[in-house]
Each structure stands twice: as C-alpha cells, then as structure tokens.
C-alpha cells in the first residue's frame, strides 16, 4: 500500500457483487484508485446507474492482470471456476487477492469437487487461502495473500450458530435444520424468467432442495467438537425482495442440558461471545429486547428483521428457546451483497492492510 492509498481492481465488475464492491470502495477513505473490469461494451455508469458521477470506467481483465504488480489488492467477483484460473498470476505479480467466489473455500480439492462438481486447477493455493470470516480469523488475515470470502448463506449461518455449537449445547448426531431465504440478487444478474420481479413478487421460489452447494461449506466450517462433524439440513428459497439473507435455524439441545437452557441463558452466551452494542464485534449485534406478553403472543420485536440490515455490513441475531421440545431457535439476518459478499471482503481488506476494520463500512441499515 503506497502513501497515496490502496489501488484496487475488481475483476467481474458488471455483476451485483462487483458493483457493490465498487460502491463500498468509493466510500473508503484509504482507497485511491478503483479499476473494475467488464467483458462487455457498455459504460460503467450505464451498468451501475446508482454510481452515476463516480468517474469509474471499465477495463479489460487481461489489461488489469498485466499491471497486477502495481496493484495492492484484486477482488475476484467472478463465477466459480474463473478465480482459480486468475489467482496464480495475480499472486505471482505481488497483488493480494480476495476471492468472492467459491474457488478457495475448501482446503481439500476433493471436497471442492464434491461440492461444485469440477476439478480444482490451482490446488497448490488451497492450503494458503485464509477463510474470510473476519470475526474468526483476524490474526491469519493480517498476513494473508489470498482470502476466500464465505458464501452469503454461510457467513450468516456461521455467525448465528457458532456460539451455540462451541458451547456444546447441540445434541450429538442431530442434524442442524436451517431454513434460509435469499433476495433475488442472490440468483445473479443473468436474466431468468423465474427470478423476474413479476414472477417473484408475492411469491417464494424454493431451489436446490436436493442438496444446496453451501451445505458442505457449512459442515466444513461449523465447530463439531469431539462428537464429530455436524450434519446440516439446509433448505433455501428466493424471497420477494432484492437483497437480504434470512436464516432461521432449529438446534436440538442435549437432553441433559435442556433444563439449564432458556432464552436468557442463550442471550448471555451470545452477548459474551460478541459483546453488546458497539463493544466487541462491531458488525454482529444480538437482539436482547425483553419479551412481552404471554406464551402465544406475537412478540415481533424480540427477533431481527431484514429491513434492519439492508445496505449495511451488520449481522443481527435473535434467539429463543422452545422449552417443551428442547429446541434452541436462532434467527440471523444480513444483506447478501454487503456482509454476505462485498462488505465482508472490504472488512477483510482492512485487516490485511492494517487499517481500522470498520473503515468504509460503518453505515447502518436503511
């Protein structure tokens, strides 16, 4: 990083994630230059009209690779399969790489092939890649050349479930049931009839119920403890909104611990792990609203909603406990384009370059 600031390239700058990465970098106080790429012929501001007046223009990806030695960091906002092709040359030229695709999320190339159905073409880099949950891996990120950003479903579920699993409250062998809803931006920018506004509005669009590709990533990263790895039952759908991840998880509590567990106990566990308010993990907030009313009252305020995180890098978490059935309930919400992608990538960049972790990211939800 020069005295003038960070020179950053965004390869894959036409998609939702690439555009969001550019938007966040434009507001970053230590970023001096942003070089997005495109294979098309349209102007940057035509593709991203929300960034009208930014002065950014598209470049050719090969042109960016050729000048990689002059770059500080390259964000790869590309489809899975492309990052593994580009990363070796970029790293060889001295640039740091943050991959927002799935290419470097598994340390084992066989695990990658099992999850994504293709061979890994840069397996020599897998062991080096740091998994980019900033809240978990700050020490490793500080010296990293290559960072693998988690998937949007995954980072939301990891932040939501890790304290409970690390405390060994989950019953061994019981699957983790996760129902997850993503905004339609999660389907990508390529037009499909099923994800048109006219089709999704007032409806829900389930998909990948035969086995979502993010389930193996969750099983690989969630703490299983001495009882072995966890089994994740992940059900996903697109909802009638553009941005957001809504996760609702049900975790069966160990039988011998069920009488000890309560909503209050879970809130204490999570606030101890993440801190309260701005003390602790700045971007993870636990909803500690006191419950009101009786057992069957619809007490909406004790759980987070998507609107509270839209446009922000925050993850909001809500908790409750079904005493009769011994099941802990976790609700976690993020913006899939920010904390679920571009925001966590910029947060990782901040740590990699020794900057304030919240630089360029302190905005609250819309």
Burial degree of 193 (CB within 10 A; 0-12, 13-18, 19+): exposed
Task: Write out the chain in H/E/C secondary structure.
Answer: CECCEEEEEEECCCCHHHHHHHHHHHCCCCEEEEEEECCCCCCHHHHCHHHCCCCCCCECHHHHHHCHHHCCEEEECCCCCCHHHHHHHHHHCCCEEEECCCCCCCCCHHHHHHHHCCCCCCHHHCCCCEECCHHHHHHHHCCCCEEECCCHHHHHHHHHHHHHHHCCCECCCCCEEEEEEECHHHHCCCCCHHHCHHHHCCCCEEECCCCCCHHHHHHHHCCCHHHCCCCEEEEEEECCCCCCEEEEEEEEECHHHCCCCCHHHHHHHHHHHHCCCCCCCCCEEECCCCCCCCCCCCCHHHCCCHHHCCCCCCEEEEEEEECCCCEEEEEEEECCCHHHHHHHHHHHHHHHCCCCCCCCCCCCCC
Q: Which CATH class is domain 153-336?
A: alpha beta
Pairing of strands 232-238, 176-182: parallel
Q: Please check whether residue 312 is in contact with residue 364, taking contact to mean a CB–CB distance below 8 angstroms.
A: yes
CATH of 6-128 given 3.90.1150.10, 1.10.10.10, 3.40.50.720, 3.90.226.10: 3.40.50.720
Active site amino acids: 152
Pairing of strands 176-182, 245-252: antiparallel
Look at residue 225 in the predicted model and tell me its pLDDT.
62
Pairing of strands 6-11, 31-36: parallel
Cα–Cα distance for residue pair 123/112, rounded to 1 Å = 10
Residue with tokens 């079904």: 322
Largest CA distance in the chain: 65
Give the pLDDT confidence of 21-30 residue by residue, as tens digits: 999 999 999 9
Six token digits for residue 160: 């939501």
Look at residue 278 in the predicted model and tell me its pLDDT.
66
Look at residue 159 in the predicted model and tell me its pLDDT.
98
All residue ranges of the chain with pLDDT < 50 are none
Look at residue 292 in the predicted model and tell me its pLDDT.
72
Give the pLDDT confidence of 10-65 residue by residue, as tens digits: 999 999 999 999 999 999 999 999 999 999 999 999 999 999 999 999 999 999 99
Cα–Cα distance for residue pair 15/24, rounded to 1 Å = 14
Look at residue 223 in the predicted model and tell me its pLDDT.
86
Supply the pTM of this predicted model: 0.95
Domain boundaries, the chain: 6-128, 153-336
């Amino acid at each position: 990083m020069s005295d003038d600031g960070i020179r950053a390239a965004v390869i894959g700058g036409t998609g939702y994630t690439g555009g969001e990465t550019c938007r966040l970098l434009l507001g970053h106080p230590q970023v001096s230059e942003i070089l997005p790429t495109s294979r098309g012929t349209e102007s940057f501001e035509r593709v991203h009209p929300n960034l009208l007046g930014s002065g950014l223009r598209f470049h050719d990806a090969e042109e960016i690779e050729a000048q990689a030695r002059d770059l500080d960091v390259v964000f790869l906002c590309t489809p899975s399969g492309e990052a593994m092709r580009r990363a070796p040359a970029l790293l060889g030229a001295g640039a740091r790489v943050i991959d927002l695709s799935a290419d470097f999320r598994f340390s084992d190339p066989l695990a990658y092939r099992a999850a994504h159905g293709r061979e890994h073409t840069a397996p020599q880099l897998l062991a080096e890649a740091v998994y980019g949950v900033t809240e978990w891996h700050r020490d490793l990120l500080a010296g990293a050349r290559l960072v693998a950003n988690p998937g949007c479903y995954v980072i939301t579920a990891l932040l939501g479930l890790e304290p409970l699993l690390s405390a060994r409250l989950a019953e061994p062998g019981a699957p983790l049931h996760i129902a997850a809803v993503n905004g339609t931006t999660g389907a990508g920018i390529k037009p499909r009839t099923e994800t048109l506004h006219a089709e999704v509005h007032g409806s829900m669009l389930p998909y990948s119920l035969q086995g979502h590709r993010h389930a193996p990533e969750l099983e690989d990263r969630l703490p299983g403890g001495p009882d072995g790895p966890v089994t994740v039952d992940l059900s996903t759908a697109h909802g009638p909104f553009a941005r957001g991840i809504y996760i609702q998880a049900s975790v069966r509590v160990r039988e011998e611990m069920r009488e000890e567990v309560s909503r209050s106990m879970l809130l204490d566990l999570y606030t101890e792990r993440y801190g309260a308010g701005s003390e602790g993990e700045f971007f993870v907030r636990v909803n500690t609203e006191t419950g009101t009313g009786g057992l069957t009252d619809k007490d909406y305020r004790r759980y987070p909603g998507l609107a509270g995180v839209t446009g922000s890098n925050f993850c909001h978490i809500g908790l409750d406990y079904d005493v009769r059935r011994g099941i802990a309930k976790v609700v976690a919400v993020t913006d899939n384009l920010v904390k679920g992608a571009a925001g966590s990538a910029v947060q990782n960049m901040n740590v990699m370059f020794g900057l304030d972790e919240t630089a360029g990211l302190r905005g609250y939800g819309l």
